[in-house]
Chains A and B, each alone.
Chain A
Amino acid sequence: MKYFLKRAGFMILTLFAACALTFFLMNVIPGGTAELIIKHTFVGLEESVTEEQINQVSSRYNLDDPLYLQFFMWVKEAVLRGDIGTSYVFKKPVLYLLTLRLPATVQLAGASMGLSVVAGVSLGIYSALRENRISDHVLRVITLFGVSMPGFWVALLLILVFSLKLKLVPVSGYGNLENLFLPAAALSLHSAAAIMRVTRTSMLETLGQEYIRFAKAKGLPVWKIMSRHALKNAMLPVITVIGFQMGSLLGGAVVIEKIFAWPGIGSLLVDSISARDLPMVQGCVLAIVTMFLLVHFLVDMLYTHLDPRIRYG
């Protein structure tokens, strides 16, 4: 219990730090906030903005206040009323916009994570068991491709094969299980490959241990050795990698969302940054950091399950 409280405290602190950092960094990058908001909402990217318009928007959103005061007001509203602001561009509450976009992101990230874990772990184990045979080499070459190919290219390739040639799934869109297949596959390829490589190495290391050899000598069947003895010990580094992959999934989602017209928060975040839509950026960062922290919390909990020697407190 004490550990949980401490952990929750750290999470809140991390969230606060992330928000503060985002807020101040957003104000350091070049380009006037008011000017870009106007360009993205009304006048068009290439058109000029008048001094009068800038003043209007600045006073409407209190952009002339000192930075620390702006940030303080934001935190105050967020903590006291749970109101994380209204988007400058969409003119709607950030929370509402997040509830529209978050399900799509969670769906995509969840499905990709599931795919990567299942494919990565099982192929990793298979590869380790078939060490130095043809299938192991083939799989290793494939993973090498997986880690080195850029996501957008994989995405286009997948569309070409599965949509245009095989006519199995639609090219883009959102709302359908079949819509999810390609973006999730494109997004998970990199993670799956990374997880598989770690699983294979870790598995090989474990299989070389004394107690496995003893189990073999005892005459235990392979599946029993694997499930009872090897897997559990081999999984620790794998779990760590899975946790980190979550971050790259959220980052990689930006490109994938654009290609598949997937209405998640990745593309929303990028658009909001270029429009200097500060409350929206803050909201997206808050959501992404929260997800990331939760996954890591889950990972830490799994550690204690896998290795009883690890104890938090």
Chain B
Amino acid sequence: MKNKSSPLLILLIILLTCAILVTSGCSSTKESEAKEAISGLEVTSGSEAASQPEGGSEADSEASTLVLGEMWEIDSVDTINGGAGTLICEKAAVTETLVGANEDFSLKPGLATSWEQLDENTWEFRLRDNVVFHDGSRMTAEEVKFTLEKVIEANSKVASMLKVDTIEAVDNYTLKIKTTEINPILPGILHYPDTAIISPSSFDAAGEFVKPVGTGPYKFESFDERTRVLTVVKNENWWGGEVGLDRMVLRGIPDPNTRAMAIENGEVDFTVDVPYSETDRIDAIDGINVEKYRTPRVYKLDINLKHEPLEDVRVRQAMSYAIDRYGIVEHVLYNVGEAAAGPFLPTMVWANQSLSPYTRDLEKADELLTAAGWVDTDGDGIRDRDGKTLKLNLMTYSARPGLPPMAEAMAAQLKEAGIDVETEVMEMGSIDDRREKGNWDLYLAAYNIAMVPDPEYILTNWYITDGPDNGPGYSNPEVDALIKEARQITDLGERYKKFNDVEAIVYEEQPMIIVAYYGCAIVKKDYVKGYVFDPTAHDYRINAEMYLEK
């Protein structure tokens, strides 16, 4: 006789054992790895070559280990090919750049102590003579040359910005860089984290990147490719002096809600950009502190100047008057950001200080639109002219949380001025496609404005007739001439004056509406001390002075 109850039992047993085997089998190893990564007792790494075990008693490492909830997933530590330049330089503080920047974005010495322009196309950099890589070797002009050549080869963006012809190590601490054309912003580009200097020992014999060996206050210790936890430890021999933390553990937590709950639950000590709407609530929690800063990024609305209603400057100005920048900052961004006038933060040394944000003025908007011939003839609330209604589409993307709600708010505000705006949140590929085909009216995006600490980069990209980021198709011979003249001037004061004039012109013409400066919310436990916000960093920069006071 057959055993009748067996099939169901078999099914359940199979499924249960599968589940249990899979979970326990994987987790028994994972558990220890993760715990180790956090407590720092012993370190295992996904790629063996990348591990550099180091001892340390549990008590002292627990006392000064900072767990950081990073906003992007950590996929790679490769600063040359893997796009991890910013992470390793600014957030893990493992590498450093030749040139630094002050709060007002003026340049200051980094690994290079000084630089000068020898002739139109030649620059000479003097390097610090007391810098030692984490592998113990000294940093000389040879290693700097090595890094820059590697970056130029791999990273076409940096290559096109640097415009390097040759790099020469004149002596141990002098580097000569020849460019293919005059390039006054060369030192500024060398502040960009992707150009941070690494030792040749970052690569194996076959030339494959193994781990970042830099000169910064923290040394790379391990990166677990499975759990994607990056650990760095104090560099006792940092040329810059004392380092505050013994260890830092970086965990990528891409969801803002999860980051908020992770710091509430005490799993991380430091994180950024919790949902904007949550900042006040979290700040009110005992032991957690939220600080809001401006970062070098702006929310801007590109306007397709090739579309008939938008080629009229009066329509664009009217739109700018219809948008309530202060309201958006307060109610959509929850004050994580600030109303903007021109493309540059007012704190930047080259910004045109005489400009102030357009304030909402519906009467003025009405005057301008009426003058342009757009009036509401049929009483439906939407303006029309020659039988055509003033209807526009606005596209944006969701990778930055402020964008979609901002687009909605702007559409509502424009509607009050009689402009019907339909918003669309799209994927980047579709946006590119639409922009290429010219099949769009408005495009809201968040742009970095100080990848290079100099106004030339952004003004050239955005406003010059054939500028690569000139989405609106703006063309003004006066602007073109001013930018081209300024590019040739090496005297900073003179240079900035020309750029100020450009800012004033585009402020008047509004080919793109600069809505607000991007904000960053730094969320940290009260015992995290010594943090200083660096407005020149991409999101945030970990500084060597940070320490824990538990």
Contacts and interface: CB of A to CB of B under 8 A. Distances in A.
A89 B75 CA distance: 10
Nearest to A174: B227
Interface string A33-45: 0011011111111
22 contacts: A30-B433, A31-B430, A32-B429, A38-B156, A42-B156, A45-B397, A49-B468, A53-B157, A89-B83, A100-B226, A103-B226, A113-B19, A114-B19, A115-B19, A121-B12, A156-B257, A170-B262, A172-B258, A232-B7, A239-B11, A260-B258, A261-B255
A279 B448 CA distance: 30
Nearest to B18: A110
Nearest to B225: A100
Nearest to B447: A46
A232 B227 CA distance: 42
Interface in A38-95: 38-50, 52-53, 56, 89-91
Nearest to A101: B226
A177 B23 contact: yes
A177 B20 CA distance: 11
Nearest to A308: B2
Contacts of A231: 5, 8
A227 B227 CA distance: 43
Contact of B469 (A47, A176, A235, A239): A47
Contacts of A53: 156-157, 160
Contact of A176 (B30, B156, B160): B30
Interface in B405-452: 427-434, 445-448, 451
Interface in B219-268: 225-228, 251-255, 257-258, 261-262, 264-265, 267
A305 B3 CA distance: 11
A128 interface: no
Contacts of B262: 170-172
Contact of B27 (A40, A117, A159, A176): A176
Nearest to B8: A231
Given A42-B155, A261-B251, A171 B429 contact: no
Interface in B148-177: 155-157, 160
**Interface size of B as a range:** 35 or more
A140 interface: no
Contact of A111 (B23, B34, B255): B23
Given A103-B226, A261-B255, A42 B267 contact: no
A170 B265 contact: yes
Contact of A171 (B23, B33, B267): B267
A197 interface: no
Nearest to A304: B7
Contacts of A229: 4
A306 B7 contact: yes
Interface stretch (A2-10, A11-19, A160-168, A281-289): A160-168
A22 interface: no
A110 to B, nearest CB: 4
Interface in A157-192: 159-160, 163-164, 167, 170-177, 179-180
A236 to B, nearest CB: 10
B76 to A, nearest CB: 7
A200 interface: no
A152 B378 CA distance: 45
Contact of A100 (B5, B24, B46, B267): B46
A46 B538 CA distance: 14
Contact of A45 (B228, B253, B428): B428
Contact of B429 (A36, A111, A113): A36
Contacts of A261: 73, 251-255, 258
A30 B82 CA distance: 25
Contacts of A237: none
A44 B448 contact: yes
User: Which of A176, A258, A306 has the largest count of B CB atoms less than 10 A from its CB?
Assistant: A176
Interface in A110-157: 110-111, 113-115, 117-118, 121, 156
B195 to A, nearest CB: 13
A248 interface: no
A149 B147 CA distance: 52
Interface string A237-277: 00100000000000000000011110100010000001010
Contact of A39 (B7, B261, B428, B445): B428
Given A90-B76, A110-B23, A259-B257, A31 B11 contact: no
B206 interface: no
A170 B7 CA distance: 38
Given A174-B30, A232-B8, A258-B254, A46 B448 contact: yes
B264 to A, nearest CB: 6
A257 to B, nearest CB: 9
A163 B27 contact: no
Contacts of B16: 114, 117-118
A172 B23 contact: no
B21 to A, nearest CB: 8
